[in-house]
Amino acid sequence: MLKLLFISLLLSLLVGSASAGFLISLDWVTDYREEHLWIILFLPIAGFSVSWVYLRYGKNVEQGNNLLIDTIHDGGERIPFRMAPLIYIGTILTHLFGGSAGREGTALQMAGAIADQFSKPFRLSKEDRSTLLLSAIAGGFGAVFGTPLAGMVFALEFNHLGKLNYRAIFPVLMTAVLSDQVCKLWNAEHTAYYIDIVPKLTFAGIAYSLLAGIIFGLCATVFIRFMHEASKLWKRYIVFSPLRALLAGLFVVSGVYLLGTTKYIGLGIPMIELSFEQQQLPYDFALKLLFTVVTLSAGFKGGEVTPLFFIGATLGNALSLFIPLQMGLLAGMGFVAVFAGATNTPIACTLMAIELFGADSAVYVAIACVVSYIFSGKLSIYTSQRMT
């Protein structure tokens, strides 16, 4: 345990710094893209290039988060360090040129690749190596979103549905907390979200939360199925992977110019913020889902989680048209509940909501997250996730 805690301290410094650098880079490329929209025209070329580099140099790390899960459970060869720079560069290029992607996948893969380099020098057992990787995942998640408690539980929850590894809980917690603190020391900014009005809990409010949770869970199911089916179709009809990314890039560019807006590309944080405050178009969530599935299923790099935040928040915003709960509350519930359904992590998502929005909304978001998890079934965006 002492050895793992020592490694966790070192890991926190590295993961927190890497996450900060990633967040700062992401802010810069997003601002640059929005100020120079012509650059979106080069998205197909960027996709072709990123996919070619992975085809040439990254075949053994292309599994991404699923490789982390398999290594946690089965051990095997050390995760190549090249995973970290490859996913970082791939994600930055995706966002610079206008792909619809997130950031959690990048943070987790960078953290995991960094952490596994310590497994051989410190002669870690298979069990201790798994704990180290779980700690890295907690640190990456906690630092990139500024939610260390959610990071701890996410790491324990996401790799094995129905089973938490309590032996690892202390180093996982410390890595999540310390990585977040290191990230903040670098002045990496996290978006603040607010639910302005949380009504007193009533039986009617509980019923409305159950209904919203069902809809969020069904939305998560649609996202997962579309992702899996789109990936299969790309591979079935286009063998050369760089060509898939090129065609997907053409689709996204065409969509941006036909719709006359860039709100469905990139992270989409401005739209997420607006969903808490103003009524948005009732189909915003569907268009973001489409853009994200096309981008990620074809081989562009990034995570799914922030797009899921967008999808959930805008869906909650749309539900406020007929569910009599406050718009901001429904947006916040959707923000975490669609994510919970897509990753099978209802406890982590409830904690994330408490860290982001405050404890006043805890019961509402907990109901939405748990119901969404139930109604999305055992499907997951992480295909290697183990089931108990």
Cβ neighbours for 323, distance < 8 A, ≥ 6 positions apart? 208, 211, 212, 330
Per-residue pLDDT averaged across 69-93, rounded?
A: 93
**Chain segment 289-320, per-residue pLDDT in tens:** 999 999 999 999 999 999 999 999 999 999 99
| pTM exceeding the 0.75 threshold for the entire prediction | yes
Question: Cα–Cα distance between 330 and 196 in angstroms, integer?
Answer: 11
Q: Whose CA is closest to 264, among 280, 293, 295, 287?
A: 287
pLDDT confidence of residue 60: 82
**Model pLDDT, residue 331:** 98
**What is the percent of the chain with per-residue pLDDT over 90, rounded to a whole number?**
85
CA–CA distance, 180 with 141 (Å, rounded to integer): 9
Task: Average the pLDDT over each of 67-71, 263-267, 361-365 and give the range with the smallest value.
Answer: 67-71
Q: What is the per-residue pLDDT for 388?
A: 67
